[in-house]
Amino acid sequence: MGQFSAWFEKAEHLWHERATTSLLSRLLILGFMVGLGLAVLSYFGILKSQISFFISIDISFSILLVFEVFGLIFVLPKSVADSLGKQFEIFSIILLRAAFKEFGAFQGIVEWDDLGNPAFYHMFSDAFGALIIFAIIGFYYRAQRHERITDTDREQKNFVVFKQILAVGIFIVFVTLGVYDLWQIAITKSYQPSIPTFYLFLIFTDILILLYSMRYTSRYFNIFRYSSFAFATVLIRMALSAGPIVNVIMGVVSGLFVLALSYTYNFFIEKSNE
């Protein structure tokens, strides 16, 4: 296990290198330019498919989401609470990407008649929903109090290694779903992202962490906290599958839930330590 943990930490160090950030920037620009190129070819009739210029933004945001998921994998072993925050970050980016997609429904100058277009309201609900979740995430991170549930350094190391193994499992699931999505695009010529399925696996991951943590603590506050994290992931999963406006409502409610959980947990922990 020691060798596995060393390998994982080396991969994490490589992930945080400036060269990796530079690679991300290059890939985002490349994806953006490829999207623009496809849209131009479609505009002049070289491609038979009708491609909107906003596909360039969609491609860039999709690449950004992939890197955000990689970041989630490296956050999980350090803190379950921070990994949940990362899940909300991913959800907020998904909402922003949806807002840009809705904006692509408008061509030319926006007229009064366009106010009756549902895409108009969906665009603003997704955008402001992402903004609200962005604010919730900021308060959520500030409210976190990271306390060890283990008694010894050896127990802490074993707990971290367990979460590292789960993180690698999540990575394998994500790559598998990504390959499946690409295969679906090649076969059906349509794109149905598997991100809701990925969040389903995150739910089971949270529950596994809860069950494993009980070997170190049976304290009610900790058990309730971990259980609530799993429930919040369930709400995000449901929000990803919901329609416009409903997805924002569920996402915001989920964010407010974990925010209230964090402040309530901190209050009672401080009282119990007095």
Task: Assign 3-class secondary structure to the chain.
Answer: CHHHHHHHHHHHHHHCCHHHHHHHHHHHHHHHHHHHHHHHHHHCCCCCCCCCCCHHHHHHHHHHHHHHHHHHHHHCCCCHHHHHHHHHHHHHHHHHHHHHHHHCCCCCCCCHHHHHCHHHHHHHHHHHHHHHHHHHHHHHHHHCCCCCCCCCHHHHHHHHHHHHHHHHHHHHHHHHHHHHHHHHHHHHCCCCCCHHHHHHHHHHHHHHHHHHHCCCCCCHHHHHHHHHHHHHHHHHHHHHHCCCCHHHHHHHHHHHHHHHHHHHHHHHHHHHHC
Residue pair 265/225 in contact by the 8 Å Cβ criterion: yes
Tell me the per-residue pLDDT of 236-263, one tens digit each, with 9 for 90 and over: 989 988 888 899 999 999 999 999 999 9
What distance in Å separates the CA atoms of residue 84 and residue 90, rounded to the nearest whole number? 10
Between residues 36 and 53, the one the model is more confident about:
36
pLDDT band at 130 (very low <50, low <70, confident <90, very high): very high
What distance in Å separates the CA atoms of residue 4 and residue 10, rounded to the nearest whole number? 10
Residue pair 246/124 in contact by the 8 Å Cβ criterion: no
Tell me the per-residue pLDDT of 75-94, one tens digit each, with 9 for 90 and over: 988 888 999 999 999 999 99
Average pLDDT over residues 149-167: 88
Residue with tokens 């401080």: 270
Q: Identify the pLDDT of residue 104.
A: 64
Q: Identify the pLDDT of residue 243.
A: 87
Q: Identify the pLDDT of residue 250.
A: 94
Between residues 49 and 91, the one the model is more confident about:
91
- Token pair, residue 224, equals 């309730």
Q: Identify the pLDDT of residue 1.
A: 64
Residue 271 pLDDT greater than 70, yes or no: no
Provide the angle, in degrees to the nearest 10, between the axes of the packed helices 153-188 and 55-75.
160
Buried b (16+ CB within 10 A) or exposed e, 128-167: ebbebbbebbeebeebeeeeebbeeeeeeebbbbbbbebb
Average pLDDT over residues 180-198: 78
Amino acid identity at 145 = R
Question: Max alpha carbon distance in the chain (Å)?
Answer: 72
Residue with tokens 């949270």: 206
Average pLDDT over residues 139-155: 85
Averaged pLDDT score across all residues of the chain: 85
Q: Report the percent of the chain where pLDDT is more than 90.
A: 28
Residues in the chain: 274
Tell me the per-residue pLDDT of 103-124, one tens digit each, with 9 for 90 and over: 766 655 666 666 667 777 888 8
pLDDT band at 129 (very low <50, low <70, confident <90, very high): very high
Q: Identify the pLDDT of residue 111.
A: 64
pLDDT band at 132 (very low <50, low <70, confident <90, very high): very high
Q: Identify the pLDDT of residue 122.
A: 85
Q: Identify the pLDDT of residue 125.
A: 92
